[in-house]
Homo-oligomer: A and B are copies of this chain.
Amino acid sequence: MSLKELQTAYLELQERRLALDLTRGKPSPEQLDLSAELLSLPGISNSIAEGSIDIRNYGVLQGLREARQLFSSLLEAPPEQIVLANNSSLSLMHDVLVFALLKGTCDSSKPWSKQNDIAFICPVPGYDRHFKICEDYDIRMLPVQMHESGPDMCEVEKLVMADPAIKGMWCVPKYSNPTGVIYSEATVERLAAMETAAPDFRIFWDNAYAVHDLTDDESPLANLLERTAACGHPNRAFVFASTSKVTFAGAGICGVAASLENVRWLLARMAPRTIGPDKINQLRHVKFLKDKEGITALMSRHRQLLAPKFEAVLKIFEAQLSDLPNVAWTKPKGGYFITLEVPPGRAKRVVSLAREVGVVLTPAGATHPYGMDPEDRAIRIAPSFPNLAEVQQAAKVVALCVKLAVVEQI
């Protein structure tokens, strides 16, 4: 289409006064309905957990044994290496980092906040909420490019070996936010084995999409915790997961797996903050999800709702955008996002064009530290929340905006 034709089509869109939102990776109401049973669990007569624990009263800082057993399959770690918390794994990541800032890790000579100018490695494109924590606490962010097998490991190895101020690294290792990449076995092995100048270097392994498949591909992820232990770096990894996109986004439970030494450290750090997590919500989840098979069965029902939305977006992009130079998009096998790459310098313009016709996208740049994508290329598409018809409509609008933004430039 010519610029004129595209502009005419765009003006027609404006008149339709759309109100569609593809910004955040939120489950749809239909997905939340899959766990409706939770709303009346554990039930009036269920107040005692394993070990005669009264789930209504104080205590059990590490979390209920049966709930840690349930998380054992998500985190691929034994229950004694797991600590559970409340409804937000982001909070747990934040708190681990804050404890390290104020107190140091179990391998730190002093608190991170007392060491000058510490830094985290941030694979890009990545998750804006990870970057926001670093920004908030003035932690320098070192972007490293994501490839199909994970972050550029040569760059990561070079950085961490050279600079003891580099204390950590954010990773979403499976169905990465937003690229959908799964870290390869070689990548995981190199992360576990690499030498770091900082003795207290920590990988924040946010395995948010551990069981969130969109296809029949099994897509296994190597076990970082086991690899770090085997490589003589047992305390390197904190492995996070939650049921936010399994049961309820705002009222699930979350947990972290780590070495026994890290677990002891974390419990000692958490003890002044709380007497214990909400154990009722833990037992509620155990009663509903039951075990690994229960989780798998539920996730296949999520997939039935999610996969058609992803397919719809991909089909429309394929039909509308295949011929455009420098335009590409990911075809994720799981997770919550599609990353759309537009020609350099055009992402902000696409997002702005879409917003003006009522389709809200995540701000261009959000996938990069400080919200600044140096190439202005990456756009994160989150098709989970709107219904299928809305997703289709929104994808068509996005495609048109991409075409218009590209042709405008010529």
Q: Contact residues of A with B, CB < 8 Å?
A: 24, 26-27, 29, 32, 35-37, 39-47, 54-60, 86-88, 90-91, 94-95, 98, 101-103, 113, 129, 132-133, 135-137, 244, 248-251, 271-281
Contacts and interface: CB of A to CB of B under 8 A. Distances in A.
Contacts of A87: 86, 274, 277-278
Nearest to A280: B251
B281 A281 contact: yes
Contacts of A36: 44, 47
A382 to B, nearest CB: 12
A129 B272 CA distance: 7
Given A44-B39, A86-B86, A57 B250 contact: yes
Contacts of A274: 87-88, 90-91, 94
Given A86-B86, A94-B272, 18 more contacts: A29-B54, A36-B44, A40-B42, A57-B248, A60-B250, A86-B278, A87-B277, A87-B278, A88-B274, A88-B276, A90-B275, A91-B273, A129-B275, A136-B272, A248-B280, A250-B275, A250-B279, A278-B278
B29 A251 contact: no
A210 to B, nearest CB: 19
Contacts of A57: 26-27, 29, 32, 248-250
Contacts of A249: 56-58
| Majority DSSP secondary structure for residues of A touching B | loop
A151 B90 CA distance: 39
Contacts of A37: 44
Contacts of A136: 103, 272
A281 B94 contact: no
Contacts of A24: 58
Contacts of A101: 102
Contact of A47 (B32, B95, B135): B32
Contacts of A133: 272-273
The count of identical subunits is 2
B88 A275 contact: yes
Contacts of A277: 87, 250
A32 B44 contact: no
The 10 closest A-B pairs by CB, nearest first: A251-B280, A56-B248, A32-B56, A94-B273, A88-B274, A136-B272, A87-B278, A58-B249, A251-B278, A40-B40
A24 B275 CA distance: 11
Contacts of A27: 57
21 contacts: A32-B47, A32-B57, A36-B44, A39-B47, A39-B280, A56-B248, A56-B251, A58-B249, A58-B250, A88-B276, A90-B273, A91-B273, A94-B273, A102-B113, A103-B136, A129-B275, A135-B272, A248-B280, A250-B277, A250-B279, A281-B281
A397 B278 CA distance: 35
A288 to B, nearest CB: 12
A249 B58 CA distance: 5
Contacts of A113: 102, 113
A369 to B, nearest CB: 13
Contacts of A103: 136-137
Max chain B C-beta neighbours (<10 A), residue from A41, A56, A249: A56
A137 B274 CA distance: 15
A240 to B, nearest CB: 14
Nearest to A252: B278
A90 to B, nearest CB: 6
Contacts of A244: 58
